[in-house]
Amino acid sequence: MRILVVDDSTTMRRIISNSLRAVGYEDIVEAGDGQQALQTLDGVNLLLTDWNMPNMDGLTLVKTVRSSAATAQLPIIMITSEGARDEVMEALAAGVNDYIVKPFTKETLGEKVKAIIR
């Protein structure tokens, strides 16, 4: 069960990764933007991605992942501060399975991850 955590903030990546470990997920890889993420997808079972990032943002990453046959079915959770309804609708339309709005608790993160990989 390998999880890829994508965020341009090293602090946020650490928070997300530590939260995942706290709820029992140990196999975690990280990327700092969408481009790096695309090069890190091999063997990944779940993608957790930020929205706002340099080089390639999360929405573009989601669309790119969904457009490739190899990753079209990969579960994706968007983690974003963009809590506005329009952004959430846009992320869902692009193919994310679920979303989490910052700030979040590790319990919320754990529940969403568990629900999506079941």
- Footprint on this chain of Mg ion (rule: CB under 5 A): 8, 50, 52-53
Q: How far is the CB of 73 from Mg ion (least distance, A)?
A: 26
Query: 6 vs 113, which CB is nearer to Mg ion?
Result: 6
For residues 43 and 51, is the Cβ–Cβ distance under 8 A?
A: no
Residue among 88, 79, 90, 64 at smallest CA distance from 15: 79
Q: How far is the CB of 67 from Mg ion (least distance, A)?
A: 22
Query: 82 vs 113, which CB is nearer to Mg ion?
Result: 82
Q: How far is the CB of 32 from Mg ion (least distance, A)?
A: 10
Residues pairing with 28 in the sheet: 3
Structure tokens at 45: 């079972």
Residue among 30, 47, 51 at smallest CA distance from 101: 51
Query: 53 vs 94, which CB is nearer to Mg ion?
Result: 53
